Amino acid sequence: MFNFEWFHHGGLQRLIDDAKHRCAVGKFPDAGKESNGSPEYLAYRDSLETRTILYMRDGLTYEMREIADIGMSSALAFECVPVDENYKVGSIVIVVPYDDIARVEVFAVHPEEKPQENIRIPGFRSAAAEMKPD
C-alpha cells in the first residue's frame, strides 16, 4: 500500500492536511461548512502541530521527524524522534522497506492544547504482543 510515490508525491501531505482540517473543524464546527473557512479557523489550522507515527509489521513504532533524502526510492529513509533520553543528543536515521510499513498515523494538535508531558502514541498492540505464554 505504501510506496515512494505515496510518501514523496502527496499521500503523506494529504494525510497531514486532513488531520489539521479535522482538528480545526473540531474547534470550529461551522467553518467546515464554508468553502474557505473563517479567518479564525484558518489561523487555528495553520498553527497546528503534527506528529507522524509509523507502525511496522514487526510491531515496532517510530515517530518520523522528517523524511531523509538519501537518493533511494526502494525504501523510506527518515529521521526518527528518539524515545530514549540517551539518544536525544544525536540523530537517528532509519531506512525501512515500504512493504514493512503497516500503518501511518498523523496526530494534529494546537500548541496551547497539547499535553504538557511527552505522551507516547501507542496505537494498537500487535497480535504477538497480545498473546500470553502458556
Cut 0.85: pTM above it = no
Q: What is the pLDDT of residue 130?
A: 53
**Domain range list for the chain:** 4-113
Instruction: Output the furthest CA–CA distance in the chain (Å, rounded).
Output: 59
Instruction: Tell me what pLDDT residue 81 has.
Output: 86
pLDDT per position as a tens digit, 53-102 = 999 999 999 999 999 999 989 999 999 988 777 767 788 899 999 999 99
DSSP for 71-131 reads S-SSEEEEEE---SGGGTTS-EEEEEEGGGEEEEEEEEE-TTTS-SS------PPPHHHHP
* Structure confidence at residue 128 (pLDDT): 47
Judged against a pLDDT cut of 70, whether residue 119 lies above it is answered with no
* DSSP secondary structure code for residue 7 in this structure: H
pLDDT score at 124: 46
> Do residues 2 and 101 lie in contact, with contact meaning Cβ atoms separated by under 8 Å?
yes
